[in-house]
Structure 1
C-alpha cells in the first residue's frame, strides 16, 4: 500500500464501470506500468475501502503536498491538464491497440483501461508536488461515473487547454466596425430567401384552400393510427424510465476480504515475530507467509502464486519461493511457561504483485476439535498483516486470498 493519503471519499451517488476484477488497482496500474512506464501508472490512486465499503481512502506513492485541480493558479492548472491529457491519450491508444488484437484477454484488459480513464468530474483530479518540484496529476474514483440517467463520460478527453488567440486578436473588432451596418440587412435578405424557398417547396402540396390543388384533410383511419402510435410511444417512454430507475437501485455486491485478526500490539510487533523465527533458525526474505498454531495438530501450509504455480510440502520450491523447514523446529517453552507455538514459514526472494491464495490443511487433527491458527504476512522482515482462522479434521481446510502490491 502506498504511503501518501490524498483524500477520503464516499461512493454515494456514483456507479462503478466494469466488473470488480477489471477495477483492480493491481491489474490497471500493473498493465499500464508494464506497457507505458511508471509515470503513466502513477496517475491512478490506490483505493483502500473501509470495512463495510462506505468510505474509500485514496493513496499514492508520490510523496508531497496534494491540492485539488481547482485550487491551482491558472497557468499551473492548464499545464497539469495538458500533461494529464497527454498521459490519458497514451493509455487510450494502448487500450485501442489491445482491442484490435482479437484476443479475449486483450479485449477485457482494453475495456478495463478505457473504464479507468473515466471519472465523475474534474473534482477527482489532484495535483501532487513531488520531490522533483513538478506537479503530478493523480486521479481519484477512476472507473466510476455519476449515478445519473445521462452521466457525462470522457471528461479526460476534453482537458487540453485551448491556446489563447494571437496578440492582435483583440483589435480585430475595431477594424470591422465599418461593416457592422451590413449585418441587419444581410439577415433580412437571408430570411427572405429562405421564405421564398419554403413557399416554393410547399405550394405544390395544395395547402391553400383557394387553390385548385388543395389537399383534403387526412382520413379518420390515418388519424386514429397516428394517435395510437403516440400512445405506444408514451408507453415505451414510461417503461424506459421505469427501467432506468430500477437500474439505479441495483448496486454491485463488493466481496469483503477476511479482516485481520485483532490482537494486542505486542503480538503484532514485527520484532516479536522475527524473534520467534530466529529462535528456530528460520529465514526472512522480501516476503514471508508465517503460520502459527498451538496444540497437537499437524497443519500444512501451501501458497498458489499469481502465475498459477503452487508451493506446498509436496512441491517445496516454486515461483521464486521455498518452504523453510527450519521453522518447524522445536523452540522450547514460551515466556509464560507454555509450549511455544508450531510454525510453518514460506519465504520469497521477491514480492511479485498479484493475488496469492494461501491454504492451510490438517494432516492430523487429534481429538476432532478445531485448531485455531494465525497467518502473518511479512514484507522485508516487517509484519504488515495478520489473519486468524480455524482448521478442522473434515478435510475442508482454511483459505484466504491476499492481494500483494509493490
Structure 2
C-alpha cells in the first residue's frame, strides 16, 4: 500500500519530446500509453527489479512532451557522467534485464491466444531504446527512459517546467562534429535551453518601417500647403450587416465515437492483462500438484499357532449390576465473533477463506487518510481487494492468498483508484493464535500495521 493516493509519485528523471525519436506501438497505439499493463506483466512474471528498469511516463495534456519518473530513492546519475568501468558494468546489467524481458516476449508470442501474442509483441518493442544516453543510474538500479522508442534523428531532451534558465551555451567551432543531445538530469540542478541568436533581417525590417513612417509624415505636411476645394459629395453609409446565423447544435455522434474509441482501446489492454493472468494461473496450477501418498507396507504372514485342547469351561458367574456413569459434557465451542480462524498447520485447502473479510479501520501512516480493506476469496485462495478511504476514494486490485512457510501471505497488485489516484502493492501476513484466530500484520515499502479480519458474508 502506498503513502496515500497520488497522481504521480517519485523522482522526475527527464522530459522528452518527439524530436529525434519515433514511438513504437501495437495496433496504432504508442507503448507508453499502456505502461501500467506492460510494467504490471513484467513485475508479475520477472520481478520488481525488471519492472523498475522501465521509467514511468507521464505525458502532458497535448501529448507533445513526456515526463519520466521513478519511485526509487538515491542519487540520479546519467549514463554520460559515469566512469568508463561503471558504464561497462551498467550496460551488462541493462542487457541482462532486457534479455529477460525479450525471452518473456518470445514465450508469450508463442502462446495460442491472440491477446497473449499481442502482449508478447508489446514486450518485444519495450526492450528497445534510442541510445545508451537514455540510461540513468538511480542508486544501484538502472532505469531506462524513452523505452519503446527508436532513433529518428538527433534527439531532444527538455528540462522540467518553472526552472530558471542559465546563460546560453558557447557555439561549437566551425567544422567540429555535432554530437546528439544527451539526456538532461533533473535531480541536482536545472537544465538550460540555448536561446537563438537574433536574425539579421530584423535590422532591415526596422529600417523599412522607419522609411515608410517618414514618407507618410512628409505627405501629410505637403497636403496642408496645397489648395483643396470643398467636399460636396454625400456619403451614404452601408446598412448594418445582418446578424450571424446561430451556431449549429453539437453533433452527439462525435462524442459517442470518441467514447467508443476509448472503450475499444481499453478492451485491448484488458484482454492483454487477462491473457497474462490466465497463463500465470496455469503455471501456478501446474506447480501445485499434490504428492502421491506412500504405499502401505505388505502385511506380515499370520503366525503358525499349534492348536491346543480347549480348557474346561468355568461355571457361569452371576450377572453384575454396573452403575452407568453420565456422559461428560461436550467441549465448549469457540465464540462466533466473526473473526477469521485458520488451520493450525499450513495446508493447500483454502476453503476456510471462501467469502469476504473486512479489516478494522486503520491508517498506513501519520499523513495518510484512514480507511478499511475488504478481501473476497474463492475456495482456492484467489480473489480481489477493495480499499475505501474516508473521503470516498476507492481502490480495487486482484489479490491472492498462499501459505509461505508458517504464514498465510495475502498479496494484492498495483492498480488505479476512483475517482483519482493510484494504488501500490502491499502485503498482509497472518498466523493462527492459540484459539485459531488469525493475527495479521500488514506492510508496504515504508509502513507497518496490525489488523483483524472479520467475516462480511
TM-score by length of 1: 0.39
Relative contact order, higher structure (CA 8 A, sep 6+)? 2
Q: Highest CA radius of gyration, 1 or 2?
A: 2
More helix by share: 1
TM-score by length of 2: 0.35
